[in-house]
Amino acid sequence: MRYVINKTPAASSHQVMGKPTHDPSPWVVLNPPAAAYPLDLHGAIPSIDDVNYAAARAGTGRWLYDPVWGLGQAAVGQSTFINFYGDQVWYCNETFLSFGSPPAASATLRIFMMSVQTGEDPAVLDQSFTLEVREYDFGATLESGDWAAGANLGSYTLLGSMFIPTSVPAGWYEVSLTAASTHLILCSDRHRSGTAPVLGTPDEWINITDAELVV
DSSP 8-state class, residue 169: -
Tell me: the pLDDT tens digits for 50-97?
999 999 999 999 999 888 876 556 789 999 999 999 999 999 999 999
Would you say 122 and 167 are in contact if contact means Cβ atoms under 8 Å apart? yes
Q: Is pLDDT above 90 for 187? A: yes
What residues have CB less than 8 Å from 154, skipping those under 6 apart? 192
Tell me: the pLDDT tens digits for 19-29?
334 444 444 44
* Mean pLDDT value across the chain: 83
pLDDT at residue 79, as a whole number: 95
pLDDT at residue 74, as a whole number: 77
pLDDT at residue 118, as a whole number: 54
- 135 three-state secondary structure: strand
How far is the CA of 215 from the CAs of 30, 35, 86, 160, in angstroms? Answer: 16, 5, 49, 14
For the chain, the residue count is 215
Arithmetic mean of pLDDT, 175-203: 95
Arithmetic mean of pLDDT, 95-117: 84
Least confident window among 5-14, 32-41, 206-215: 5-14
Where along the chain do its domains lie? 1-33, 36-214
C-alpha to C-alpha distance for 97 and 43, rounded to whole angstroms: 7
